[in-house]
Chains A and B, each alone.
Chain A
Amino acid sequence: MKPYRKVAIVGAGITKFIHKAKETPKELAWAAAKMTLESCNMKLSDVDAVVHGTAPDAFDGVHMKGEYLAEASGGWNKPYLRCYVGGGTGVFAPAQAWLHIASGAFDTCLAVCEEKMSNCQPHPQGAFLTIFDNFLERPLKPNLLWIFSLEMNRYMSTYGLKIEDIAPVSVKNKNNALDHPSAQAAEPVTLQDVLNSEIMAWPVHRLMVSPTSDGAAAVLLASEEKARQITDKPVWIEGVGWNLDTAYWTNRDLCYPQYVEKAVRMAYEMADIKEPKKEIHIAEPYDPFAYKELHHMEGLLLCDKGKAPEDLALGRFDRQKGSLPACPSGGLLGVGNPIAAAGMMKVCELFWQLRGEAGKRQVPGQPKKAVAQAWGDLMQVGTVLVCGVN
């Protein structure tokens, strides 16, 4: 895919991620959208089009949730699109906003993601139960953890990994998140804490799982010409990619996320990145579970297959000293996981990191290129954004 013209992120905003927000979904979405416009001194009337990303309607408990959230996302009387690829939505939404502008259709586009999982009772798990095949799987009474425990096990057995090789992801991310003002699950945990936490479905331990959250996050995108008028520090979207594997999740080889590789190859090609291991300075891989960060670092072609745990152990992903910091935000494990908003949080992080505005979380050495990725649907989609500054 060849973009027609360059597109930049010019503003970003995020609410706190919390367990039970008193605000309505609309109030959350508006807060993030408003903050985004204020971050770059733009008004709602400066926005040409709006893209909204939100995961299953069941979470907020509102059918046609895209329509419900339209005016709260700035979409009143504007061209408006709601997009949805499950957990992958948070990175898919800015990619769709990018299309709005790269195509030449619009000069500015606000991308807003929101999720309010606490509306869902007794647990959002209830919504997930029906993703399974009605004849082959639902009679077995599966829950979502089955997939993740089996996938983690497959990853471990393929490469001879131990739980101790994977658990440090939780330690890194939950500690990184201590410096994120929106964080819900930041904790100064140790490896021992993670290993001692409850085993939910072996080998997945409680502290290797991101929490359910309420929250919203947003970015404003602009064409090159507009972006240069709005800010001195545009963060260019240099590549986008997305890809879906089969919904028959049992038939994929769970040791490797092929769909992420296909998505990121699309994005790297657009961004003219030939050696991602050297050219990418920061990664925000999707980390709803500890092993997924490692899995995704491999899928993003940033680590050799099966070697991400070794890189992790060698400190390559450390925020201060590592050569390729992963999840400097604190990730879903630390900041929280309001599904679509969590992916967007990663895009916001790239924006702040590449502008040198990430505060205590700032990756040293003036990073120039970064990648954010999300994952979802029936664990089959990879969505990717590559960003850069000159």
Chain B
Amino acid sequence: MPAAITRVKGKIPIENSYTSGLAGEKTLKAIKEHGEFIGTSCPTCNWTYFPARMFCERCFSRILENDKSVGPEGTLEAVSLVNIDQSGKKTKPYYVGLIKLDKADTKLLHHIKGAKGLVPRPGARVRPVFNSPDKRRGSITDILAFELV
């Protein structure tokens, strides 16, 4: 029996174009132009978000204008050594981790660079490694990774 009778192929033909938003743009611009981490802070909740947010999810205040510089160093909260890629294929192992940047109350996901003889562990101090200014394009990947201090 021809396969087409029992099965047809289909796809949802859409792509998406996402805006970084009023808050997200601020953070990405600071990374691109100055290699700096700019978040926003809620004075009511005494809580600092990185990346920047337009509003505090805890009390709903507008905090877009309340910039706060955070990091650049931080502390590793959790770490994993990844052996497979997005499609499930074996890949050269690499570390990912959750980083609590200094002065921020939120955590950032990123690649972690191991060092010779040093394994990244929770509690380790890390710092960002930025791409060279001419290669930055306003993306989270303008930070190449976080490395152990």
Contacts and interface: CB of A to CB of B under 8 A. Distances in A.
A164 interface: no
Contact of A61 (B8, B16, B60): B16
B147 to A, nearest CB: 30
Interface string A122-153: 10101101100011001100000000000000
A45 B61 CA distance: 12
A26 interface: yes
B50 to A, nearest CB: 16
A225 interface: no
Nearest to A129: B13
Q: Pick the most buried of B15, B16, B21, B60: most chain A CB atoms within 10 A of its CB.
A: B60
Given A23-B19, A24-B24, A61-B18, A30 B55 contact: yes
Interface of B is mostly: loop
Interface string A11-30: 00000000001111011001
A65 to B, nearest CB: 12
B127 to A, nearest CB: 29
Contact of B14 (A21, A127, A134, A138): A127
A174 to B, nearest CB: 28
A295 interface: no
A120 B18 CA distance: 9
Contacts of A118: 17
A374 interface: no
Interface in A1-60: 21-24, 26-27, 30, 33-34, 37, 43-45, 58
A21 B60 contact: no
A119 B59 contact: no
Interface in B1-20: 8, 10, 12-20
Interface stretch (A68-76, A182-190, A251-259): A68-76
Contacts of A121: 14-17
On chain A, which size bracket covers the interface? Answer: 20 to 34
B21 A23 contact: yes
Interface string A66-92: 000001101010000000000000000
28 contacts: A21-B19, A22-B19, A22-B22, A22-B25, A23-B21, A23-B22, A24-B18, A27-B54, A27-B55, A30-B60, A34-B55, A34-B62, A45-B59, A61-B14, A61-B18, A71-B57, A118-B17, A119-B18, A120-B14, A121-B16, A122-B15, A126-B13, A126-B14, A127-B12, A127-B14, A129-B12, A130-B10, A139-B8
Nearest to B14: A126
A139 B8 CA distance: 9
A139 B5 CA distance: 12
Interface string B17-48: 11111111100000000000000000000000
B65 to A, nearest CB: 14
A8 B12 CA distance: 41
B92 interface: no
B89 interface: no
A58 B8 CA distance: 22
B58 interface: yes
A138 B8 CA distance: 10
Nearest to B9: A134
**8 closest Cβ pairs, A-B complex:** A61-B16, A24-B21, A126-B14, A71-B57, A44-B60, A76-B57, A121-B15, A126-B13
A3 B19 CA distance: 42
Contacts of A119: 16-19
Contacts of B14: 58, 61, 120-122, 124, 126-127
Contacts of B54: 23, 26-27, 30
A217 B14 CA distance: 26
B63 to A, nearest CB: 11
